[in-house]
Structure 1
C-alpha cells in the first residue's frame, strides 16, 4: 500500500529526484572507505577527487594534511599516494614483493596493451625483464660497448653544437636525438642522423604526448574511458601520436625480419626474434611481434626521455650558476684536459662533476610521481591496510626534496653529494630512478650517458644565457617534468 501511494503521488520530476538519490546512496555505499584504509579528502559522488590537482606539489599539500600515506578517489577507483623518503623506502625497498605489479591505467593500456617490459605483470613481465636485462648487458660488452656508442655520439653532438657558431639556438631535439641514438644503436644496430626527418617527427610526437599526459583532461580519460573515447581533447592527440610512433617502430622491426640471420645477431631486435623462435611453445611468455614493438617503445622512451631531459636541465642550471660551470670545467681540464674525450674511467677522479650531475637530477625532478604500481597482495603501510589490487603512486619528488634528508632541499647545491673532504658521497634519499623490483631498467645506461655527454659538452663549450632570455627554473609537468623551451649560446672554449 505504501509503495502504491508513493507511486501515485510522484510526478516525473519526483521520480527523477528519487532515482538520483538512489544512485547517490549506491555510490556512497559502494565506495565507503573503511577505517583501516588511508584517509583522504572528501570525494564527490561518482566523480571522486577528479578535480584535485594531479601534480606532485598538490600531492605534497595533501600529505601535510593527511599524512605521508593518503588516498584519493578517481571515479570509483581508490588510489594510495606515498610521500617522503621513510615511507617510500618502506614500500619499495623493505616490502619488495608487496608493490610489484602495475595497475590497468586505461590510456596506457590502449597504447602499451599490458605487454612489453614496463607495464606488464606476472610471468610475461618476469620473462621480458630477464631477457632485456641480459641482452642490454650483452650489448654493453666488448667492442660494441655502450661507452663506445656514447663516445661516438658525443663527438656528433659537439660538432652539431659547434656548427651553431656561438649563435643562439634551441638544443632540445639535437640533445634528444643524440641520447635516442644510444638506445637505437642497441635496439636497431644503427643511429639516426640529426637531419633525419622521420626520427625528428618520432621525437616531437613522443615529447608532445608525454607533456599531454599531465593535463587534467587526459587524466579524466583514465576515469571515464568509455565516455572520453567519443570526446575531443588532448587524449585524442596522445592516441594519434602513438599510432604514428608505433608505425615507425613496426617498420624498423619489419626490416629486421626481412634481413634476419639467426647465426649473426646484430642487436636487441635480432636477439628478440631468436627468442620468439625459442619460446614458441610457451605463449604465456608473450614473445611475439606485437610484444616486440611495444618493448622497443618501452625501451626507446625509457632510454631517451629522462636522460635527454636531464641534460636539458643541466644546460639550464649551468646558465643560472656560471660559477658552478667554471668549477666543473676546471675539474675537467685538470683530469682530462683538452686532448682526448672523457671516459668512464675518469669519473672516480671527478667528484665535483659527479656531484653536480646528481644535483641536476635531484632538483630537476624528472619523473616526480614515478610509474604507477599496484599492491600485489594485501599489505600494511603507515598503520593502514592496503588491499590487494590497489593502485599506488610513490611521490619521488617528496623524496628528492625531503626536508629531513637534505640540508637545503629547494636550492641547487652540489655539496649535497660531497663530504667534508670534497669526495663524492652517495645519499640514500637519492631515488630519481625509483627503487625495488620496478626500478628503472636503464639506470646504469643513463648514468653513463649523463657523465659522458655532460663532461664532453662542458669540455668543449661554455653555456651562457642570451641577454633577456634567461631560461625559467620552473618545469613543465607532463608525465615527466621538463624545462620550458629555451635558447642558449654554446661558446667554444
Structure 2
C-alpha cells in the first residue's frame, strides 16, 4: 500500500507541471533516466530530439527539464526572448555554498544589479590607467618566456595556458599577477579545477537530478561521510581565499585610486 501511495504521489507530481513540450513518457521517481544517461547526456538528448524535435521535455527524477536542441531553438530562447530565459537554475550540490548570491547563481533583481555593476567595473578597467588589453599583453610576454625555456622540447601546454588565463583574471580581480610556481596561486588553481571535476562526477550530477531530496536533507547530508561533501568544502576554501584577499584590500583601500575589481566593488558597496 505504501509503495502504491508513493507511486501515485510521484505520478501526480509529474502531471502538475502544466503545459510542457512533448517528450518521452516518464517513470515515477526515475523520470526519464532510462532514456537520458548521466554519463552521455548530450548523446541522449540528441537521440530524443530525433523523435520529438528541437524542443522537448524530459524528467530528471521528479523534476521536468525543457531541453533546447539546435542553434535556432537556443537563439530564439537566449537572444530573441532573453528576458524570459535569463533566470538561473539552482544546483543543489552548491546551493548551500552560495544561497543564491553571485553573478553566476543569482536571480531576478539581485542578478541584474550585480551584472550591471560587473559590466560597469570591467568597462572602467578597459578605459582605465592599465587596461585589460595591457594586462593580456604583459601575460602573453611572460607566457612566451616560459615556452622558450622548454627549448623546443615536446610539452603539454595545458598547465602553462591555465596559469596564463588565470593570471589575467587574477590581475583584474586581485590587482596583481602570480608567479607560475607561487604556492598560493597553484593552490587556487587546484581548488578551481577540483571543484569543476567534483561537479561533473556522477554523484554531483545525481544531486542535481534529485534536488528535492538533497534540499530536504542537506542539513544532515553535509555531515554524513561521502564524496558528496567534497565539492562543498572545496568551494568553502575558495570563498575563504577570496575573503582573505578582500581583507588585504580593505587594509590599504583608497576609494580615489581603485586597483582591481575588489576595490571597485568596495566603492560601490560603500555608496
Q: Tell me if TM exceeds 0.5.
A: yes
Please name the residue that 2:269 is paired with.
276
Say whether 1:197 aligns with 2:220. Answer: no
Moved over 3 A (4+): 33-36, 227-231
* 1:173–1:203 Cα contact (<8 Å) kept: no
The within-5 A match list for 1:4-43 is: 18-32=1-15, 36-43=19-26
More relative contact order, 1 or 2 (CA 8 Å, 6+ apart): 1
- What do the CA deviations read for 1:39-84 (whole angstroms, capped 9, x no partner)? 2233232232345224322221121122111112223221111011
Within the candidate set 107, 125, 129, 1:121 is matched to 107
Structure-1 separation of matches of 2:205 and 2:83: 28
- Normalized per residue, the structure richer in helix is 2
Aligned-pair RMSD on alpha carbons? 1.9
Please name the residue that 1:137 is paired with.
123
Please name the residue that 1:89 is paired with.
75
Please name the residue that 1:163 is paired with.
149
Structure-1 separation of matches of 2:61 and 2:17: 17
Within the candidate set 53, 65, 68, 1:79 is matched to 65
Shift of 1:103: 2.2
* 1:173–1:200 Cα contact (<8 Å) kept: no
Q: Which protein shows a greater Rg?
A: 1
* 2:180–2:186 Cα contact (<8 Å) kept: yes
Structure-2 separation of matches of 1:145 and 1:35: 50
* 1:205–1:241 Cα contact (<8 Å) kept: yes
The within-5 A match list for 1:337-416 is: none
Structure-1 separation of matches of 2:18 and 2:67: 17
Shift of 1:231: 5.4
- Where 2:10 maps in the other structure, the secondary structure is helix
Say whether 1:251 aligns with 2:244. Answer: yes
- Where 1:270 maps in the other structure, the secondary structure is helix
Segments of 5+ residues of structure 1 without an aligned counterpart are 1-17, 279-493
Shift of 1:252: 0.9
Shift of 1:33: 6.5
Give the 3 Å change call, closer, same or farther, for CA 34–144 of structure 1 in structure 2. closer
If the length of structure 1 is used for normalisation, what is the TM-score? 0.50
Aligned pairs, number: 260
- Where 2:64 maps in the other structure, the secondary structure is strand
- Where 1:139 maps in the other structure, the secondary structure is helix
* 2:31–2:58 Cα contact (<8 Å) kept: yes
Shift of 1:213: 1.9
Structure-2 separation of matches of 1:258 and 1:272: 15
Shift of 1:34: 6.9
